[in-house]
Amino acid sequence: MKLTTTPRQDGFYFPAEFEPVREVWLAWPERGDNWRDGAKPAQQTFANVANAIAEVVCVSVAVSSQQYEKARSLLHSSVKLVEMAFNDSWMRDIGPTVIVNEAGERRGVSWKFNAWGGDFNGLYDDWSDDDKVAASVCDVLGIDHYRAPFVLEGGAIHTDGEGTLYTTEECLLSPGRNPQLSKSQIEQLLGEYLGVSKVVWLPKGLFNDETDGHVDNLLHVVAPGKVILSWTDDPFDPQFKLSREALAALNAQTDAKGRAIEVVKIPVPGPLYYSENEANGIEMSDGMNRQEGERLSASYANFLMVNGHIFLPLLDEQYDKIAIEILTNALPEYEIVGISTREVLLGGGNIHCITQQIPA
């Protein structure tokens, strides 16, 4: 059921990803203008991710009727398939943000979705099915939902579950999202729909990120007052300046509880680029141009935390082991599960972007 109140009025808030999770959702890729070679390599990788997560928690995958049999053949028998219409498979951005109250009840938030920028710089023209996914997932889960009155994607926000929200100005203040709203109005709405009391603003996201700088590609909140930040020490890398601006912003602010924010740096892989083969395997379209030699927005911060496990994208042999070592030292109680996900990266995101956790 669609509610007419707001989460804050009803005592609901956005819990952290490192709190107990009951289920994880994905959507099955098939778009030929985003996934190469008829999406077959991406489908295998999505299946690898879903099957790995299914070892730890229940997994549901939204799938079109045309792709049902293909998905069923690649996914573990424990993975639940749900027929649903959508335009592309970024469940983090099109699925609901599920919020909780002190009694442990759950509700969903359905954000307005416009393909990361609408008529201004959206990646495709028709996002009407994507915009209905959050409500549909809530119906399947049997929970009520709120319809937020502004554009937002799940990848644009991270929380510590204790009142702090992390986001980027590049994304939330981009002209393609909510040009009618000021920064303070957006902050007020975030408080109203996520129950947060403090927004930590970072200037920009990762270099060449076509989502206009989603925070989940730049950093990950791994504990109250503690974040993993994408980093490079190469002064010739355009990410060099962006990471330092992010660090300066984090150092200049405290979280909702007044704590200084601890920052653990993790190297960006590569730099990595589209190969000729990869770029040529994609059907041309207006919004999503994939060029040979174009820099990929690759990040080890784009992982998923589920019940004591971290599902980490493996992207570069030179840095994979370093990333695992850094996360193991920072979060010794977690088991790190590495999955090769270059095929997801080629579509413009990674493990965090294609998953949406449903809190326990």
Pairing verdict, β 226-231 and 219-223: antiparallel
- Cα 27 from chain centroid (whole Å): 13
Q: Tally the residues of the chain.
A: 360
Upstream peptide bond of 269 is cis (omega within 30 degrees of 0): no
Residue 305, both tokens: 């935390």
Give the span between the Cα atoms of 133 and 288, in whole angstroms.
21
Amino acid at 20: P
**Dihedral of the alpha carbons of 156, 313, 137, 120, in degrees to the nearest 10:** 40
State yes or no: is 171 an active-site residue: no
Residue 181, both tokens: 């709203």
Give the span between the Cα atoms of 159 and 18, in whole angstroms.
10
* 229: region left, alpha or beta (phi > 0 left; psi from -120 to 50 alpha): beta
Q: Which residues contact 40 (CB under 8 A, 6 or more apart)?
A: none
- Identify the H or E element spanning 218: none
Long-range own/partner contacts, residues 1-6 (CB < 8 A, 24 or more apart): 1/144, 1/145, 2/135, 2/144, 2/145, 2/146, 2/147, 3/107, 3/144, 3/145, 3/146, 5/146, 6/146, 6/192, 6/193
DSSP sequence for 158-199 = EE-SSSEEEEEHHHHT-TTT-TTS-HHHHHHHHHHHH--SEE
Give the span between the Cα atoms of 178 and 134, in whole angstroms.
19
Catalytic annotation, pick one of 58, 138, 171, 353: 353
Bridge partners, 335 (sequence order): 309
Residues catalogued as catalytic? 353
